[in-house]
Amino acid sequence: MGARCGSRVTLDQAGYISWTYGNNVDCYINLVAPGASDLLYLQILENRIEGGGSSCYDHLYVYEGIHTGFSSSGIHADICGSSGITEYTSSLDHTLTLRLVSDVSTPGSFTILYTAYADPFGPGAACESGFSCDVTDRCIHPDLRCDTMDNCGDGSDELSCLTSGDTWVCSDGSSIPASLLCDGTRDCSDHGDERTTFPTYCASVEIAPSCYSSVYLQPDSSGYIVYSNNASYSGTVCATHLYTAADYTVQLGPFDLTDMPGGCADSIHVCDGNAMYTCEFTTSTRSFCLNEYQEDRVRRLSSEVTIRLEGGTAAGGNFKIFYRLQYIGPQSLSTAAIVGIAAGSGVVVMVMVGVAVYCCYSNNNRSPSTPRVGVEGTPREHIPMQAYPQLYPASSSLPYTSELSAHTSSSLPYADLPYTLHPPPAYSADPSSAPPPYMAPKEPHRRLVQHQPDTGHQGLPYPD
């Protein structure tokens, strides 16, 4: 695309693909992962590809494998601003082809973060010297750990990167303890400590790709539930079922609805359990509609909760709801049981005392002829497709490069990240391909992975 149209590019372990394009463009680029047994994970960080309603006017097509000629039958994804696609995972081998086709009006732009990873279910899939992602189970290069970018797609490679003694510098120059980042409370004047996008990257769950699907939340985790980190809803009705381990409870709040339209035009409903098709105002635990920041907390929920958006207006908007998973397992239950037993014992003692008093009183007041009765007790390289303007202000320290460059862990020019949960793709690469150097042959992989919903962007047939 641009200077690289029609070229084949061998990628680094992670990096950017970006382009600000004009009108009447038809350009493709072939992407090759660094290892023959690697797969590619694409995250669409910026999407200004023209679209409207349910149609795309400009198109970023994704094809599995190397292509130089094209037909409509080989398209695996058609991406634009209104397509709702925020990520794509290759499912066949270590190559992908991107093709941008624009119409006669409205230039656009996009930015994609790509990550090469080893298939967790491929041959020799023990992730020993790499980093194994918690939920997606991808094995990524160890240099991608703690680089401020969520290469895993589940946030696990960026967890526990700051220590309790570190500090976070707010945009106004003030500092706060790192422990206050992403805790649901706004501590910086610009609220930057609670952002789900650059530069904070608080963990987030997007419901845009998971409408009427279930999403698993990791126990002991916290973060934000958002419609999307990259797009706004418009005329959308969407419900998502969120669940975790049975010995945990989901706690919600505060609710940041400042980006929703005013006048209660749209609303958010919270229902306990899986109620994707029945959650509404009359059945919800709580419902919200005002476009404001609300400190409300919803705590009396089980290990399953449904968030339903009724965004019927064309104005559209977005929202952020903080969530935390609280353990209520055996230890907590035992404490409650102890309290209950103690209370019950007290009642028994009181009853016994009452009986004794009654009996004694009765016996002492009997007539002499009445016999006495005794009582006895008884749970990131940057690939511009042409000259690419800097995304962030001049004060940003991110070292963007204009050409292919070697990746280093100290200079990873990352940008915004969506967070969605998807299962790893089925393995179908050439079995003779050698695994990357940080993959050590081992016994077949048997790690259990939590079931995640299928978003419809993976595992499509190989093009003709």
1-125+380-458 to CATH, choices 3.40.109.10, 3.40.50.970, 2.60.120.290, 1.20.1250.20: 2.60.120.290
In angstroms, rounded to a whole number, what is the distance separating the alpha carbons of residues 216 and 37? 28
Residue of 414, 406, 234, 216 lying closest to 325 (CA atoms): 216
In angstroms, rounded to a whole number, what is the distance separating the alpha carbons of residues 228 and 231? 5
In angstroms, rounded to a whole number, what is the distance separating the alpha carbons of residues 443 and 126? 8
Would you state the CATH architecture of domain 203-348? Sandwich (2.60)
Q: Where in the chain is the domain with CATH 2.60.120.290?
A: 1-125+380-458, 203-348
- List of residues 6+ apart from 217 with CB closer than 8 A: 205, 242, 243, 244, 250, 323, 325
Q: Look at residue 40 in the predicted model and tell me its pLDDT.
A: 95
Q: Look at residue 273 in the predicted model and tell me its pLDDT.
A: 95
Q: Look at residue 387 in the predicted model and tell me its pLDDT.
A: 36
Sheet containing strand 248-256, strands side by side: 204-206, 222-226, 320-327, 248-256, 293-294
Q: Which residue numbers in the chain have pLDDT < 50?
A: 331-337, 339, 348-349, 351, 353, 355-380, 386-435, 437-464
Q: Look at residue 385 in the predicted model and tell me its pLDDT.
A: 59
